[in-house]
Amino acid sequence: MGLIKIVRKSKIEDRYHRNMGRICVQVTRIQKQFMGIPFQTVHKYRQTYTGEVKDCEECVISKAELSY
């Protein structure tokens, strides 16, 4: 068993853009873990409505701070 692992985890996040409104997208993070503790995010990406995969760094959409 190695001390350093590379793990891929997906999580649904709410995001908001003034032109598109609120969307829920599945964001996938690839992280390095040392003994089960994540210490570095290698890559973060999401899927668009059309199924295209985009890097979260080049997206203008920000995380939503929604108030109902």
Q: Is 70 exceeded by the pLDDT of residue 67?
A: no
The tens digit of pLDDT for each residue in 8-28 reads 999 888 877 777 778 788 888
- Please compute the mean of the pLDDT values over residues 27-53 and round it to a whole number: 84
Q: Retrieve residue 1's tokens.
A: 């068993």
Residue 5 β-bridge partners = 33
Domain ranges of the chain: 4-48
Q: Which amino acid is at 33?
A: Q
